[in-house]
A and B are shown apart, each in its own frame.
Chain A
Amino acid sequence: MLNYTNAITEEKSYSGLQMKEIKPVMKLVIRGKKREFLSAIGKSLNLLLPTEANTSSSSDKLTALWLSPDEWMIYSNEILNSETNEYETENLLNKNISKTNLGAVTDVTDQFVLINMKGDKIFDLFETGSPFNFNDFRNKKGSVTQTILAKIDVIIHNQNKNEVNLFVRHSFSQHLFSWMNDSASRL
């Protein structure tokens, strides 16, 4: 059964940094290797999946993140109606991808928590707890990385200048958010 309550209830603000959870946002993980898989996704969603490592692509409604050579995450740009557990995009992909055996579609909406971060101190915060080198990443709009933050697996999407979307597994989200608050208060 879906739990509609937010994992992170507060919106936190520090000088040069604001953090809040954005919910509900549809999140799907899709996997496939064949060329037909890529073209079927492109036709179904009107969105070309990024094939270059550590990049993303987006359309009006959706954003696709490169996770590995045969794995992508797709999430909706807009907040959805929370009373539903049905996603038009997922149904479409199930029909065009899963049922035609081109690849796999997994709904990870409730598995991942999306934390939106804004401000010029985002990367100062990341640098206190991640082994990843953010020097090039921070200047490249749309770049994506999967790395560790405070020993927790995260997916980081550089959405805009001074705006980052961070995905973390639901069960780690409260701990990570509390760690981020602690770390942000010392920046």
Chain B
Amino acid sequence: MFIINCPYCGEREQSEFKAGGEAHIIRPKQPTELSDDQWAEYLFMRKNIKGVQFERWVHTHGCRKWFNVVRDTSNDVIKAVYKMGEKPPTK
């Protein structure tokens, strides 16, 4: 369990949120031109690294807004939180 600083509501406990997977995955502009492997790569393959990861989270039981979180998956330390559409702090 850890605390997430929602960019809209402030600090809340993790149980109020839901994780939405890896952030900043760009949808291919012409999906019809991709092979099945390339499409599967976009659709399913995630890094799931041990270390600092860029993720999407949603404040389900609060403001119901989506935002991005930079989290170290090895110890759950949150390095940064930023709104959708904003540039990631370091990437």
Contacts and interface: CB of A to CB of B under 8 A. Distances in A.
Interface of A: 53-54, 67-69, 71, 131-133, 145-148, 153
B60 to A, nearest CB: 9
A69 to B, nearest CB: 6
B63 to A, nearest CB: 4
A69 B8 contact: yes
Given A131-B15, A131-B16, A146 B61 contact: yes
Contact of A132 (B12, B63, B64, B65): B12
A147 B61 CA distance: 6
Interface string B4-32: 00001111110110000000000000000
14 contacts: A53-B10, A67-B63, A68-B63, A69-B8, A69-B65, A131-B12, A131-B13, A132-B12, A132-B16, A133-B11, A146-B9, A147-B61, A148-B16, A153-B61
A74 to B, nearest CB: 17
Nearest to A130: B13
B51 interface: no
A146 B12 CA distance: 10
Contacts of B11: 133
Chain B interface size, as a band, is 10 to 19
A71 B9 CA distance: 13
B8 A146 contact: no
B14 to A, nearest CB: 8
A53 B16 contact: no
Contacts of A67: 63
Contact of B8 (A68, A133, A147, A153): A68
Contacts of A53: 8-10, 63
Contacts of A148: 15-16, 61
A112 B12 CA distance: 23
A46 to B, nearest CB: 26
Which of B15, B16, B64 has most chain A Cβ within 10 Å? B16
Contacts of A146: 9, 61-63
Q: Give 4 nearest A-B pairs by CB, closest first.
A: A68-B63, A131-B13, A146-B62, A148-B61
Given A132-B12, A146-B61, 10 more contacts: A67-B63, A68-B65, A131-B12, A145-B9, A146-B62, A146-B63, A147-B12, A147-B16, A147-B62, A148-B16
